[in-house]
Amino acid sequence: IFNIVAERKVARSMEIADRLNVKRPTVTTALRALADKGLVNYEPRSYVTLTERGERIAKCVDKRHHVLREVFTKVLLLPDQHAEEAACMMEHGMNTRVCRALTGLLTAVEKNEGLARALNEAIGKELEHSDCETACGYEVSFQENKTMNELPDNLNTLGSGQSAHVLRITGGGTLKKRLREMGITAGERITVVKSAPLDDPIEIKVRNYNMSLRREEAARILIQ
């Protein structure tokens, strides 16, 4: 949304769907969730714009993406496509402290060509003698990483009829306990039967049982 608005002042759900290569219902569900959080101004069949808070957060994410991409290409010498995909996967999970540290690294490399060459050579030598299989026992292909990145991150991002597996439930307290008692546990398959608009609950199916969840409850359920 941030990128489209920067180009055209406003965004349409169709444009967002085309950019992300997803279906319109998926975008509609996501826009409703973002509107609930006060991040976008959204009404059905109308333009989409960012709120002041939404724009502030989007600028931060865009900054993180830029820093990650520059580090991947200039320090790690990764191909542009790999750097872009990796930055997209990591930008939302990077906190301010990490962003500042990577910015410092990038600035140091840009100011010191000798440091840049030394890092490039050292990293290149290490790569000649290591890979993911020897380091952690499993190698995830680039295509697998891309597919993983395209999956929704929480239950609110699924549209009616879509399914996913529960990755984990965030937070703690009585809500987490209640969700587990309802059968919503890691690895369990969960299907959205009906996704109602705005603050209305969504109907889901778990273990052949239908139940309803509020939006804030669904946001706690991370999926893959």
- Between 96-111 and 52-70, two packed helices, what is the crossing angle to 10 degrees? 40
Q: Where are the domains of the chain?
A: 2-50, 57-149, 155-223
Q: Is the pLDDT of residue 21 over 90?
A: no
Digit-coded pLDDT (tens) for 31-52: 888 888 899 998 888 889 999 9
Q: Let me know how many helices (H) and strands (E) the chain has, helices first.
A: 11, 7
At residue 25, does pLDDT exceed 80? yes
Q: Return d(Cα 119, Cα 112) in angstroms, integer.
A: 11
Identify which of 143, 167, 172, 142 has the alpha carbon closest to the alpha carbon of residue 157.
167
Other CB atoms within a 10 A radius of the CB of residue 132 amount to 11
pLDDT value at residue 131? 59
What percentage of the chain has pLDDT greater than the value 90? Answer: 14
Mean pLDDT of the chain: 81
Q: How far apart are CA 193 and CA 13, in angstroms?
A: 22
What architecture is domain 155-223?
Roll (2.30)
Of the two residues 144 and 223, the one the predictor is more confident about is 223
pLDDT per position as a tens digit, 52-71: 999 998 998 899 999 999 98
The CATH class of 2-50 is mainly alpha
Backbone angles phi, psi at 64, to 5 degrees: -60, -45
Q: What is the DSSP letter of 140?
A: -
Q: 3-state class of 13 per DSSP? A: helix
Mean pLDDT of 15-40: 86
Please report the pLDDT score of residue 134 as a whole number.
52
Cβ atoms of residues 37 and 27 within 8 Å: no
Question: pLDDT tens for residues 141-172?
Answer: 544 444 444 444 788 888 888 888 888 887 66
pTM here is 0.54
**Can you tell me the mean pLDDT for 161-184?**
80
DSSP states of 158-205:
--TT-EEEEEEE-S-HHHHHHHHHTT--TT-EEEEEEE-STTS-EEEE
39 in helix, strand or coil?
coil
pLDDT band at 221 (very low <50, low <70, confident <90, very high): confident
- Tell me, what amino acid is at 33? A
